[in-house]
Amino acid sequence: MRGKERLKHEYITRFSRWRIIEHQANAIAFIVLVITGLSQKFHDSSLAEWIIINIGGIDKARLIHRYTGLVLLVLTLQHIVIASFGVIFRRWAPTMVINKKDFTDVIDNLKYYFGMTEWPARCDRFDYKQKFEYWGVVIGGVLMVLTGLILWFPTLVFRWMPFLPGQIIPAAKATHTNEAMLAFLVIVIWHIYNSVFSPEVFPLDTSIFTGKISKERMIHEHPIEYERLTGVSLEKPHHPAEGDEEGTGEGSQDIV
Amino acid sequence: MPNRMLIAVVALAALAMVQTASGASYQPGEEGAICLGCHAEKGMTTTFRNGETLSLYVNDKELAGSVHKNLPCSVCHSGFSPDQHPKRQYKSKRNFTVVKAEACKQCHTFKKGIHVQMLGGLKDGVCVDCHGGHSVQSMKETSGDGCTGCHRYPVTMTFKDGTKHRLEVDENGLKASVHKKLRCADCHFGFSAKEHPERVFKDRRNFRIVAAETCRRCHFDKYTKTLEGIHFNLLLSGNLKAPVCIDCHGSHTISSGRHEKVRSAQRCEACHGEIYRTYSTSVHGKALISSHNQDVPVCSDCHRAHDLSDPHVADFRNNIPQMCSNCHANEDLMKRYGLSTAVLRSYLEDFHGVTITYYKKQKNSVRHIAVCTDCHGIHDITRTKGPDASVVKANLVKRCRKCHADAADNFPESWISHYEPDFKRAPLVYAVNLIYSVFIPFMIVGLVLQIILHIWRYAVNR
């Protein structure tokens, strides 16, 4: 018991300052975009009306939405560029790259949930849930930025790319509005559950604010990374997926 | 019995009174009796110099009904008496009438008043033309409330500017009007056979504007509406050409405007001729004029009739989609012409529609937003299908460029019409919507299931 208590209060650094700032900036931009964007999508509802009127009108709401969209563009672009460089020049380990183990981890975890195995999947620095969200944010961000720009400058689309069919504009609108809905639902349901309401982190997973994670959670949620960082071999249960994943090498923790 | 005596006396007195009354109804008098001795016989004639003949028969019953019944014949027929019967020669029947009518002026001197004015327009008219000769009656009895007694003749009034105005009323038109049951004085308040105030107006327009004020005494609801209307406000600002009630509705021949739409439009044509001509070539105007289609809108359907507002103000403009949808969102009506009713919804769901809806809610219209009329035309609305389609499309990009200055020629194609995007018309949009309609529920259901499983496992492990 005492050992376990100790683990709770010992922390391992998980995120660098820049990653924390990046998350917070992304979160704020996302919230602003959701408020101003969904109000436009559901423009008939009384809540949307209240929001838009209080923002100062539809034109202001659109202005805020578009400039916040620019913030998202910058955030997405810088992330892609920096992460690509980091991975290509071997400064960082490609810990976010989806690999075969992620799929077997899903199956293992489902088996665990159904009581077919005794232990959940043993994950590395980022488990498949986190990778799913990460790629959702990156791909969704690119999609939203691109379609958003098309909707912002519809005339330029035809000036620069006259070969495009006219329906590119309504198609961009359909993509933008649907992708927004998907992103909003995934964040509200999945991300908020995993970082707030999940019994493992409730009342809040603070690691993205403090940059630290307790040893207890580390051992529980990222055992492979823990082993790699500390060199300590955890008393681990027999696991079918074990050994599939070799140590990913560098062991840097400042990872995308 | 004193009681019986009393009844008998009262009965006798009553009988006497009745007899007196009936006796007073006609008493030819001594002179009259002598004249009628001959002139009550039919067949007596006189011949004028031009060969015209006139019956000298006097209908004693007519005479008995006249207001002059108690006058001796010689009062009017001066020079004639039972002793004297001068022979006079007249040029013609008319000459006879004119000379005879001079007799009226012995008693009825008209130096001023309504007759002097009236007779100005009736140069050749004489008293007997209107009032009759032996049958002369009180005007009150000759015709209802007595107005048409005079006003069936082309009597005139003179305005300050010297112009004359005919006050003749077409009785047939009046009887065919919606106001046929009204009395003249209902509209011409303060006028009757007894009272006939003399009014002087600056000119004809002034007269008509004042005359129209009477309408509000019954149609107060319409009057209050006009107070908000642009015509009334133009009038207030000094533009006397702005129409008042009677300019559109007419006066004595007023008819209900509901029955024949084309007439309603033609009323506006009187002032807005150019617009009417444009309208008559539009899809709506053509249908109205060539096939008397009563479904199509006329001027007042869009601009309203009484509280018509300035179409250049933002409020009017921003309300155009709702205006058009009065018909174009009406399922039954559109079915007859094979038109879609999705036009309003699809517009309101698009950028322009959302913006304009919010401009209305915000009560500040920042700028012009494209509404129905910008793409489809205003008074010159054309069909978007058929031979005119290419014209409509060609004009579209011009309209786009008013706001989207750098719009390329194919920019209007980005508007995939008012129809729901389907596989044929807009495959790309259709595909995107289809993919997401499968992907979103799949994703959300999957994630929610995972969450439930996670909680369940956690609970079991505890």
Tell whether the model's pLDDT for residue B275 goes beyond 50. yes
In this prediction, residues B68-76 reach a mean pLDDT of 84
Tell whether the model's pLDDT for residue B71 goes beyond 70. yes
Helix (H, G, I), strand (E, B) or coil at B55: strand
Task: Give me the domains of chain A, ranges plus CATH numbers.
Answer: 2-230 (1.20.950.20)
What pLDDT score was predicted for residue B146? 66
Which range is least confidently modeled, B68-72, B239-243, B403-407?
B68-72
What does the alpha-carbon distance between residue B354 and residue B321 come to, in Å, rounded to a whole number?
12
- Residue A203: asked if its preceding bond is cis (omega within 30°), the reply is yes
Q: Count CA atoms closer than 13 A to A52's CA, side-chain side.
A: 29
Structure confidence at residue B144 as a pLDDT band (50, 70, 90): low
**Identity of the residue in B354, B361, B454 whose CB atom sits nearest the CB atom of A40:** B354
CA of B437: which chain A residue's CA is closest? A178
**Identity of the residue in B408, B428, B458 whose CB atom sits nearest the CB atom of A155:** B408
Q: Is B397 in CB contact (< 8 Å) with chain A? A: no
In this prediction, residues A13-29 reach a mean pLDDT of 94
- Residue B15's Cβ-count burial label (10 Å; 0-12, 13-18, 19+) is exposed
Structure confidence at residue A120 as a pLDDT band (50, 70, 90): confident
| Residue A156 to chain B, least CA–CA distance (Å) | 7
Which sign does the torsion angle of CA B317, B322, B326, B331 carry?
Answer: positive
Residue type, B448: V
Yes or no: say if B38 and B44 are a contact pair by the CB < 8 Å rule. yes
What pLDDT score was predicted for residue B8? 56
Tell whether the model's pLDDT for residue B260 goes beyond 60. yes
Which sign does the torsion angle of CA B323, B326, B329, B335 carry?
Answer: negative
Strands of B1-120 (E only): list them: 45-47, 53-55
Query: Chain A interface, mutation test: which of B450, B456, B458, most A Cβ atoms within 10 Å?
Result: B450
What percentage of chain A has pLDDT greater than the value 70? 89
Pairwise pLDDT comparison (A244 vs A89), residue with the higher score: A89
Structure confidence at residue A133 as a pLDDT band (50, 70, 90): very high
Tell whether the model's pLDDT for residue A254 goes beyond 70. no
B395-B400-B406 Cα angle (round to 5): 120
| Residue A59 to chain B, least CA–CA distance (Å) | 8
**Identity of the residue in B357, B444, B455 whose CB atom sits nearest the CB atom of A185:** B444
Q: Is B386 left (phi over 0), alpha (psi -120 to 50) or beta?
A: left
What pLDDT score was predicted for residue B6? 56
CA of A176: which chain B residue's CA is closest? B432
Query: Chain A interface, mutation test: which of B344, B351, B358, most A Cβ atoms within 10 Å?
Result: B358
Tell whether the model's pLDDT for residue A236 goes beyond 60. no
Q: Count CA atoms closer than 13 A to B5's CA, side-chain side.
A: 2
Question: pLDDT tens digit string along B146-202?
Answer: 677 778 777 778 889 988 888 888 888 888 888 888 888 888 888 876 677 878 899
- Residue B349's Cβ-count burial label (10 Å; 0-12, 13-18, 19+) is middle
CA of A133: which chain B residue's CA is closest? B447
What pLDDT score was predicted for residue B336? 92
Contact assignment for B408 to A158 by CB distance below 8 Å: yes
Please, which residues 400-429 of chain B have a Cβ atom closer than 8 Å to chain A?
A: 404-408, 410-416, 421, 426-429
What pLDDT score was predicted for residue A72? 97
What pLDDT score was predicted for residue B1? 44
Q: Which residue bears the tokens 């995972």?
A: B450
**DSSP bridge partners of B53:** B47
What pLDDT score was predicted for residue A242? 39
Q: What is the DSSP letter of B144?
A: T
What pLDDT score was predicted for residue A46? 95
Contact assignment for B416 to A166 by CB distance below 8 Å: yes
Contact assignment for A43 to B421 by CB distance below 8 Å: no
Residue type, B198: E
Contact assignment for A113 to B458 by CB distance below 8 Å: no
Tell whether the model's pLDDT for residue A250 goes beyond 50. no
What does the alpha-carbon distance between residue A70 and residue A77 come to, in Å, rounded to a whole number?
10
**What separation in angstroms does the CA of B142 have from each of B130, B154, B168?**
10, 18, 17
What percentage of chain B has pLDDT greater than the value 90? 33
First to last CA, chain B: 128
Tell whether the model's pLDDT for residue B51 goes beyond 90. no
What pLDDT score was predicted for residue A200? 85
Question: pLDDT tens digit string along B84-113?
Answer: 888 888 888 888 888 888 888 888 876 666
Contact assignment for B454 to A198 by CB distance below 8 Å: yes
What pLDDT score was predicted for residue B440? 97
Contact assignment for A182 to B414 by CB distance below 8 Å: no
What pLDDT score was predicted for residue B39? 86
Cα-flanking dihedrals φ and ψ of residue B133, to 5°?
A: -100, -95
Contact assignment for A113 to B448 by CB distance below 8 Å: no
* DSSP per-residue letters across B425-445: T-HHHHHHHHHHHHHHHHHHH
What pLDDT score was predicted for residue B19? 44
What percentage of chain A has pLDDT greater than the value 90? 64
Tokens encoding A76: 């997405």
What pLDDT score was predicted for residue A28? 97
Structure confidence at residue B129 as a pLDDT band (50, 70, 90): confident
CA of A161: which chain B residue's CA is closest? B408
What pLDDT score was predicted for residue B84? 83
Structure confidence at residue B420 as a pLDDT band (50, 70, 90): confident
What does the alpha-carbon distance between residue B362 and residue B369 come to, in Å, rounded to a whole number?
14
User: Among A199, A197, A198, A217, which Cα is nearest to A207's?
Assistant: A217
Yes or no: say if B414 and A167 are a contact pair by the CB < 8 Å rule. yes
Contact assignment for A59 to B355 by CB distance below 8 Å: yes
Which sign does the torsion angle of CA B270, B276, B280, B284 carry?
Answer: negative
What pLDDT score was predicted for residue B261? 82
In this prediction, residues B195-219 reach a mean pLDDT of 89
Contact assignment for A181 to B440 by CB distance below 8 Å: yes
Q: Which residues of A touch B364 (CB under 8 A)?
A: 57
Contact assignment for A158 to B404 by CB distance below 8 Å: no
What pLDDT score was predicted for residue A231? 85
What does the alpha-carbon distance between residue A218 and residue A222 come to, in Å, rounded to a whole number?
5
In this prediction, residues B207-230 reach a mean pLDDT of 92
Helix (H, G, I), strand (E, B) or coil at B191: coil
Which residues fall within 8 angstroms of residue B236, CB to CB, at 6 or more apart?
none
Give ipTM to 2 decimals.
0.86
What pLDDT score was predicted for residue A243? 39
Which residues fall within 8 angstroms of residue B288, CB to CB, at 6 or more apart?
B261, B262, B265, B280, B294, B296, B298
CA of A107: which chain B residue's CA is closest? B450
The number of C-beta contacts closer than 8 angstroms across A and B is: 111
Q: Which residues of A touch B366 (CB under 8 A)?
A: 57, 59
Mean pLDDT of chain A: 87
